[in-house]
Amino acid sequence: MSATSPPKDLPPQVAPPKDAQAKDAGPNGALPKVAPPPADAAPEASFAETALKLGGKSDEEARRMGAIDRADDQVEHLFQPQYQTVNSPIHRAVWERQLPVELFEASYESTPPDVQQVMSQSLEVVRRNRHAGQLFNSEGKVAESVLKELGGVGYWGLLVDRQYGGYGAPLRSFMSFLTQMALVDPTTAGLASVHGCIGAVDPVRTFGTEEQKERYLPRLASGEKLSAFALTEPCAGSDLTALKTRARLEDGRYLVTGEKLFITNVVPGRTIGLVCLIDDKPAVLIADLPDRESDQFKLVKYGLHALKHTYNRGIIFKDFPVPAENLLRVTKGNGLTIAYHGLNLGRVALCATAAGNMRLMLASMLPWSKFRVTYGEAIAKRELVRRRLARLAGLIVACDALVAWCSTLLDQGYRGEMECIVAKIFGSESQKEAAIELFMKTHGGRAFLHGHLFGDQVHEFLAPCIYEGEGEMLGMALFKSLVKQHGTQYFEPVGKALAAAGMKTFSPANPMHAWKLRKALVPYGMWWLGESFANKWRTELGPMPDNLREHALVAIRGLQSLPLEISATMRKHQLKLADRQCRMSELSSRVQKLVVMLTTSLYAAKQNDETVRMAADVVCQELARELTGRRPSDRYFRSMNDLGAKIAGGGFASVAGLHPDEILMKYEA
């Protein structure tokens, strides 16, 4: 994904109004409507493209990366100015001189009664079918009968607006619900995200004409049609400028030719959002796949370890007809604008599902830790095992905090690009660590037995690291989003002056350079002086436990100390910054950890459950240690051991009553 940029006429930064959710949300807190882009939303030329050329990139690479940059700008302009990236919590936390703590706090979950009923009935449908052995069909996929039964109780319409037959569920409620569904069946939870977040629902809801909405959304809400999103191609993954699937207009319809890959939830009869090239520009068509394969539409089956309980196929199109009226249009932008829009919803959903999966791991570890005896004592009493239980609980609480925070921001109308990236990366990486370092190692060799939760689901636990954008790639996208306004405001004038002077780099030690660039350098110099002598430590926190307050303050100070370092990195590498991927990744990682510390400490401070607060303290201690490089203290080991003992004794309420698997190959002591 690419960076974001504010419009050049963006008004001064403003805090979102306190009634933002009521003002901008749809019925019952539903997904906010986006504002139509202004006529001058998309600049004709991208400075990023010029900078890449000056930095030594080929014209082709600069053009492709510039196209991604412009597409991302166009997504940005779909949002009201106060909710764009430049006014997002992370951007303001780093670049403003007083961190807006209130923007890092999640709202309380408030679910309308009818939405709660749909959620409860959906959970019951999946529980009942799982208990009866009917959740999966003969191929091991979620059975069509279950999908239809879920449609009957309203599951597929949770994110569809009420006027089109859905329930307009607040994302704050929907994402928490996904965690609950993941405890029953993670695949079914994932299908709700595919359908409602990255499938056809969000593109039609956000970009469709009234006619398109009336034609598609009721059927998508009822489950008569389930959806998928066809974006990835053999050569186009993170590089979406490499799309090759094309559609040509002929006799009132588009004829699509090309190949798609790794399309989840695709079978004959589905409705898909299809990204393709029309007149050499990315576009999105809403396509109804026929009930049977034909010469024009064929599915490609391949061996895939992950997503084994859903249909994930490739698609080959050959002059496949799609009515011309199924083209989604945007005032400014193209198909990439549409493709990018729903990804943030999917990223939060991944974190929510990870929180559920990790609860299943913890619930599996607890009975085993009491059953397994070594040297005459259950391993639940061993410090190393207790540390694993505590660490896992901390990761779960941090994911809960990120999901609650990000969904709050999205409900309020924020784009949430950087915030949702943090949630996606932390959630998927935590799930990976939990599976390998905590879950597998505690169960030992039994983890690889058929029927064991780890052995049967390991690919499902690892694969989210690449869903909705591979983690390190997204980390660099976060960094680019974070620095783009600073670069545009202070470095773009210097870059233009360099180009005008026929210079490729600026050396501060060279007086001639400074003289030639003096006019462009003055604003930056004024910013640097102001930042160097600013008093930033005025942030006030509400009532909090002392340990969580200290974590929040460490995170705040860490975030607010970054501007000079980030700017120095930009100044040092100048036009070569795009090639310094490892440096960008390292800085981004620090930002992410500080954000997780802040959101987790604020979230836990509002919880009444002592175990949740203890878990938050533990994960924040570990994040702080990773940031400082300090060795663990005895206090840290004591807190881990105390929390692990509490969890082993049944103190983590959110896993109570869960029995995800059985102890395999029991033995007599």
Residue 410's Cβ-count burial label (10 Å; 0-12, 13-18, 19+) is buried
Q: Rounded to whole angstroms, how far apart are CA atoms 335 and 241?
A: 11
Q: Answer yes or no: is pLDDT of 23 > 50.
A: no
Distance CA(477)–CA(469), nearest Å, equals 10
Residue 609 belongs to a domain: no
Spell out the alpha helix ranges (H) of 448-491: 453-462, 471-486
For the chain, what's the residue count? 669
Q: Using N-to-C axis directions, what is the helix angle for 343-371 and 383-412, rounded to 10°?
A: 160
In tens, the pLDDT along 381-411 reads: 999 999 999 999 999 999 999 999 999 999 9
Within-domain flag for 32: no
Encoded tokens for 652: 């983590």
pLDDT over 70 (residue 313) = yes
| pLDDT tens-place string over residues 168-196 | 999 999 999 999 999 999 999 999 999 99
Are 361 and 462 contained in the same domain?
yes
Determine the Cα–Cα distance for residues 392 and 356; give it in Å rounded to an integer.
Answer: 12
Name the percent of the chain lying above pLDDT 90: 74
Residues 361, 464: one domain?
yes
Chain Cα centroid distance, residue 226: 22
Name the pLDDT band for 335 (thresholds 50, 70, 90).
confident
Given this model, what pLDDT does residue 169 score?
97
Question: Domain end: 328, 358, 381, which one?
Answer: 328
Q: Which one, of 309, 269, 276, 275, lies nearest residue 292 by Cα?
A: 269
Given 437, 472, 507, which residue is the final one in a domain? Answer: 472
How far is it, in rounded angstroms, from Cα 186 to Cα 350?
Answer: 10
Is the residue at 271 inside a domain?
yes
Residue 167 lies in a domain: no
Q: Is residue 407 assigned to a domain?
A: yes
Residues 402 and 353 in one domain: yes
Domain boundary among 472, 498, 516: 472
My answer on whether 323 and 351 are in the same domain is: no
- Please check whether residues 242 and 314 belong to one and the same domain: yes
Do 390 and 462 fall into the same domain? yes
Q: What local confidence, expressed as pLDDT, does residue 625 receive?
A: 95
| DSSP-derived secondary structure letter, 85 | G
**222: its two tokens:** 């009822």
Q: How many Cβ atoms sit within 10 Å of the Cβ of residue 596?
A: 24
Q: Domain containing 447 — which CATH number?
A: 1.20.140.10
Per-residue pLDDT, 379: 97
Q: What domain range includes position 366? A: 347-472
- Is the pLDDT at 493 greater than 90, yes or no? no
Same domain for 353 and 465, yes or no, is yes
* CATH number of the structural domain spanning residue 319: 2.40.110.10
Structurally, the chain folds into a number of domains equal to 2
Is 410 within the bounds of a domain?
yes
pLDDT at residue 255 tops 50: yes
Q: Cα(244)–Cα(289) distance, rounded to whole angstroms? A: 20
Neighbours of 112 (CB within 10 A): 18
pLDDT digits over 89-148, tens only? Answer: 999 999 998 899 999 999 999 999 999 999 999 999 999 999 999 999 999 999 999 999
Examine residue 139 and state whether it is found in any structural domain, yes or no.
Answer: no
Instruction: Report yes or no on 467 lying in a domain.
Output: yes
391 and 291 in one domain?
Answer: no
